[in-house]
Amino acid sequence: MNARRPPLGQRLAGRVGAVPAVACGLVLAAPVLTWWAVGDLGGDGGPDGGTRFVEPLVRSSVAQHALGAGALVVLLLALLLRGAVVRWRGYDPCRWSVVGPLVVAGLVSGAAWRVLTDVTLGIDLAVVGVVFLVGPLVGMLVLWSAGRAAWIVRREAARRGAA
Protein backbone atom coordinates (compact mmCIF):
# COMPACT_ATOMS: atom_id res chain seq x y z
CA MET A 1 0.00 0.00 0.00
CA ASN A 2 2.83 2.34 -0.80
CA ALA A 3 1.04 4.43 -3.40
CA ARG A 4 3.08 7.32 -4.72
CA ARG A 5 1.48 10.73 -4.21
CA PRO A 6 1.46 13.17 -7.10
CA PRO A 7 3.75 16.22 -6.83
CA LEU A 8 2.58 19.22 -4.83
CA GLY A 9 2.29 21.40 -7.95
CA GLN A 10 0.00 18.88 -9.62
CA ARG A 11 -2.16 18.62 -6.52
CA LEU A 12 -2.37 22.43 -6.24
CA ALA A 13 -3.16 22.93 -9.92
CA GLY A 14 -5.92 20.33 -9.62
CA ARG A 15 -7.73 22.30 -6.93
CA VAL A 16 -10.07 24.95 -8.23
CA GLY A 17 -9.09 27.88 -5.99
CA ALA A 18 -5.49 27.03 -5.13
CA VAL A 19 -3.67 28.78 -7.98
CA PRO A 20 -5.78 31.97 -7.81
CA ALA A 21 -5.21 32.01 -4.04
CA VAL A 22 -1.44 31.83 -4.57
CA ALA A 23 -1.65 34.63 -7.14
CA CYS A 24 -3.79 36.77 -4.81
CA GLY A 25 -1.34 36.16 -1.99
CA LEU A 26 1.51 37.45 -4.15
CA VAL A 27 -0.41 40.47 -5.41
CA LEU A 28 -1.82 41.52 -2.03
CA ALA A 29 1.31 40.90 0.05
CA ALA A 30 3.68 42.82 -2.26
CA PRO A 31 2.48 46.38 -1.50
CA VAL A 32 2.11 45.74 2.23
CA LEU A 33 5.57 44.21 2.46
CA THR A 34 7.13 47.07 0.50
CA TRP A 35 5.32 49.66 2.64
CA TRP A 36 6.62 47.96 5.78
CA ALA A 37 10.17 47.45 4.46
CA VAL A 38 10.55 51.11 3.44
CA GLY A 39 9.55 52.19 6.94
CA ASP A 40 8.58 55.60 8.24
CA LEU A 41 10.38 58.23 6.20
CA GLY A 42 9.44 61.37 8.06
CA GLY A 43 9.80 60.73 11.74
CA ASP A 44 8.16 63.46 13.81
CA GLY A 45 8.43 66.22 11.18
CA GLY A 46 10.85 68.48 13.02
CA PRO A 47 10.09 71.34 15.42
CA ASP A 48 7.03 72.54 13.49
CA GLY A 49 5.44 69.10 13.58
CA GLY A 50 4.95 68.93 9.82
CA THR A 51 1.93 67.64 7.97
CA ARG A 52 1.03 64.48 6.13
CA PHE A 53 -0.48 64.44 2.65
CA VAL A 54 -2.39 61.27 3.59
CA GLU A 55 -2.82 59.79 7.05
CA PRO A 56 -1.46 56.22 7.32
CA LEU A 57 -3.99 53.45 7.80
CA VAL A 58 -2.02 52.00 10.72
CA ARG A 59 -0.30 54.40 13.12
CA SER A 60 0.95 52.03 15.82
CA SER A 61 4.45 50.75 15.20
CA VAL A 62 3.53 47.39 16.76
CA ALA A 63 0.61 47.01 14.36
CA GLN A 64 2.85 48.05 11.45
CA HIS A 65 5.41 45.39 12.36
CA ALA A 66 2.72 42.74 12.77
CA LEU A 67 1.20 43.65 9.42
CA GLY A 68 4.61 43.62 7.72
CA ALA A 69 5.62 40.30 9.25
CA GLY A 70 2.29 38.78 8.22
CA ALA A 71 2.76 40.05 4.67
CA LEU A 72 6.27 38.57 4.63
CA VAL A 73 4.93 35.16 5.68
CA VAL A 74 2.16 35.29 3.06
CA LEU A 75 4.59 36.34 0.33
CA LEU A 76 7.12 33.62 1.17
CA LEU A 77 4.41 30.96 1.31
CA ALA A 78 2.93 32.16 -1.99
CA LEU A 79 6.37 32.12 -3.65
CA LEU A 80 7.00 28.60 -2.37
CA LEU A 81 3.65 27.35 -3.66
CA ARG A 82 4.12 29.21 -6.95
CA GLY A 83 7.44 27.43 -7.43
CA ALA A 84 5.76 24.08 -6.79
CA VAL A 85 3.01 24.81 -9.32
CA VAL A 86 5.41 26.06 -12.00
CA ARG A 87 7.73 23.04 -11.56
CA TRP A 88 4.86 20.78 -12.45
CA ARG A 89 4.92 20.48 -16.23
CA GLY A 90 1.14 20.25 -16.73
CA TYR A 91 0.47 23.87 -15.74
CA ASP A 92 0.65 26.69 -18.27
CA PRO A 93 3.23 29.24 -17.01
CA CYS A 94 1.78 31.82 -19.42
CA ARG A 95 -0.85 32.56 -16.78
CA TRP A 96 1.79 34.00 -14.48
CA SER A 97 2.39 36.78 -17.03
CA VAL A 98 -0.76 38.34 -15.61
CA VAL A 99 0.47 38.19 -12.02
CA GLY A 100 3.98 39.56 -12.66
CA PRO A 101 2.95 43.10 -13.64
CA LEU A 102 0.45 43.18 -10.76
CA VAL A 103 3.21 42.29 -8.28
CA VAL A 104 5.41 45.05 -9.75
CA ALA A 105 2.47 47.47 -9.49
CA GLY A 106 2.06 46.42 -5.85
CA LEU A 107 5.74 47.01 -5.09
CA VAL A 108 5.60 50.48 -6.66
CA SER A 109 2.31 51.27 -4.91
CA GLY A 110 3.67 50.24 -1.51
CA ALA A 111 6.65 52.55 -1.87
CA ALA A 112 4.42 55.34 -3.18
CA TRP A 113 2.04 54.96 -0.23
CA ARG A 114 4.99 55.37 2.14
CA VAL A 115 5.92 58.60 0.36
CA LEU A 116 2.34 59.87 0.55
CA THR A 117 2.18 59.20 4.31
CA ASP A 118 5.52 60.93 4.95
CA VAL A 119 5.62 63.91 7.32
CA THR A 120 6.69 67.04 5.44
CA LEU A 121 7.22 70.68 6.33
CA GLY A 122 5.56 72.08 3.22
CA ILE A 123 4.79 71.17 -0.34
CA ASP A 124 6.67 68.01 -1.08
CA LEU A 125 7.77 67.37 -4.65
CA ALA A 126 7.81 63.65 -3.94
CA VAL A 127 4.01 63.77 -3.61
CA VAL A 128 3.80 65.43 -7.02
CA GLY A 129 6.07 62.71 -8.43
CA VAL A 130 3.89 60.00 -6.97
CA VAL A 131 0.72 61.50 -8.36
CA PHE A 132 2.03 62.24 -11.85
CA LEU A 133 4.51 59.39 -12.38
CA VAL A 134 3.58 56.45 -10.19
CA GLY A 135 -0.17 56.69 -10.75
CA PRO A 136 0.02 56.31 -14.54
CA LEU A 137 2.70 53.60 -14.23
CA VAL A 138 0.53 51.52 -11.91
CA GLY A 139 -2.47 52.13 -14.17
CA MET A 140 -0.54 50.90 -17.22
CA LEU A 141 0.63 47.77 -15.38
CA VAL A 142 -2.92 46.96 -14.27
CA LEU A 143 -4.26 47.53 -17.79
CA TRP A 144 -1.51 45.31 -19.20
CA SER A 145 -2.49 42.53 -16.80
CA ALA A 146 -6.18 42.91 -17.64
CA GLY A 147 -5.43 42.76 -21.37
CA ARG A 148 -3.16 39.76 -20.93
CA ALA A 149 -5.80 37.98 -18.85
CA ALA A 150 -8.43 38.64 -21.53
CA TRP A 151 -6.06 37.31 -24.20
CA ILE A 152 -5.39 34.12 -22.20
CA VAL A 153 -9.10 33.54 -21.57
CA ARG A 154 -9.88 34.08 -25.25
CA ARG A 155 -7.07 31.73 -26.30
CA GLU A 156 -8.24 28.99 -23.93
CA ALA A 157 -11.85 29.40 -25.11
CA ALA A 158 -10.72 29.07 -28.73
CA ARG A 159 -8.64 26.03 -27.83
CA ARG A 160 -11.63 24.37 -26.14
CA GLY A 161 -13.89 25.25 -29.06
CA ALA A 162 -11.49 23.68 -31.56
CA ALA A 163 -11.16 20.49 -29.51
User: pLDDT digit string (tens) for 46-82?
Assistant: 555 667 777 777 878 898 899 999 999 999 999 888 8
Percentage of residues of the chain with pLDDT beyond 70: 86
Prediction pTM value: 0.81
Q: Which of 116, 107, 41 is CA-nearest to residue 75?
A: 107
For the segment 91-100, the average pLDDT, to the nearest whole number, is: 81
Q: C-alpha 120: how far from its chain's center?
A: 27
> In the prediction, which pLDDT does 45 show?
53
- Please compute the mean of the pLDDT values over residues 97-105 and round it to a whole number: 93
DSSP H helices, 91-134, are: 96-116, 125-129
Residue 127 pLDDT class (50, 70, 90 cuts): confident
pLDDT digits (tens, 9 = 90+) for 50-59: 677 777 778 7
- Give the whole-angstrom CA distance, residue 144 versus residue 102: 9
As a whole-number percent, the residues of the chain with pLDDT over 90 amount to 36
Q: Is the pLDDT of residue 2 over 60?
A: no
- Spatial distance between the Cα atoms of 30 and 111, rounded to a whole number of angstroms: 10
Instruction: Inform me whether the pLDDT recorded for 33 exceeds 70.
Output: yes
pLDDT at position 136 over 70: yes
What span, in angstroms and rounded, lies between the C-alpha atoms of 136 and 15? 36
Amino acid of residue 117: T
Nearest residue to 141 via CA among 94, 91, 95, 107: 107
